Amino acid sequence: MQLSERKEKILAAVIEHYIATGEPVGSKTLLEFLNIPVSSATIRNEMAELSRLGLLEQPHTSAGRIPAQSGYRYYVDRLMNRYELPLNEKRLIEARLSTAGGEPQQILEQAGQVLAEITNCAVVSTTPCDDNAVIRRVELVPLGTRTVMMVMLSSSGILKSRVCRTDSELNMELIETFYNIVSQHFIGKSASEVSMALIQTLALSLGSKSLAISPLLVTLSDLAQLTEQTQLLLEGQSNLLNYSDYPNAYELLEFLRRSDPLTNLFSNHKSQGDASVLIGKENLFRELQESSVIFSNYSVSGKESGTLGIIGPTRIDYARLIPSLKYLTEIVGNIMSDTLED
The whole-number pLDDT of residue 27 equals 87
The whole-number pLDDT of residue 316 equals 93
CB under 8 Å to 100, separation ≥6 — which residues? Answer: 106, 107, 109, 110, 111, 335
Within the chain, all domains assigned CATH 3.30.450.40 are found at: 87-129+230-341
Within the chain, all domains assigned CATH 1.10.10.10 are found at: 5-79
Task: Give the HSE-up count for residue 173: Cα atoms under 13 Å, Cβ half-sphere.
Answer: 7
Q: Which of 14, 22, 3, 11 is nearest to 314 (CA)?
A: 22
Helix H segments across the chain?
Answer: 5-21, 27-34, 40-52, 69-74, 87-97, 104-119, 172-185, 196-204, 210-228, 249-256, 259-268, 318-341
Task: Give the HSE-up count for residue 236: Cα atoms under 13 Å, Cβ half-sphere.
Answer: 24
CB under 8 Å to 132, separation ≥6 — which residues? Answer: 155, 190
pLDDT by residue for the chain (342 residues), tens only, comes to 789 999 999 999 999 999 999 899 988 888 888 877 888 889 999 999 999 999 999 887 667 899 999 999 999 999 998 788 889 888 888 888 887 767 888 899 999 999 999 999 999 998 887 667 789 899 999 999 899 999 998 877 778 899 999 888 889 999 999 999 999 999 988 888 888 888 888 888 888 888 888 999 999 999 988 887 788 899 999 999 988 888 888 889 999 888 788 888 887 766 555 789 999 999 889 999 999 999 999 988 788 788 999 999 999 999 999 999 999 999 999 888 887 766
Within the chain, all domains assigned CATH 3.30.390 are found at: 135-228
Round to whole Å and give the CA distance between 88 and 302: 27
Q: What are 250-295's pLDDT values in tens digits? A: 889 999 888 788 888 887 766 555 789 999 999 889 999 999 999 9
Architecture of domain 87-129+230-341: 2-Layer Sandwich (3.30)
**CATH class of the domain whose range is 5-79:** mainly alpha
Q: What are 225-258's pLDDT values in tens digits? A: 888 778 889 999 999 998 888 888 888 999 988 8
Q: Check: CB of residue 306 under 8 Å from CB of residue 128.
A: yes
Architecture of domain 135-228: 2-Layer Sandwich (3.30)
Round to whole Å and give the CA distance between 292 and 322: 12
Q: Check: CB of residue 311 under 8 Å from CB of residue 122.
A: yes
The whole-number pLDDT of residue 61 equals 67
| 62-to-24, 44, 59 alpha-carbon distances in Å | 10, 12, 9
The whole-number pLDDT of residue 271 equals 56
The whole-number pLDDT of residue 326 equals 92
- According to DSSP, the β-strands at 135-142 and 147-154 are antiparallel
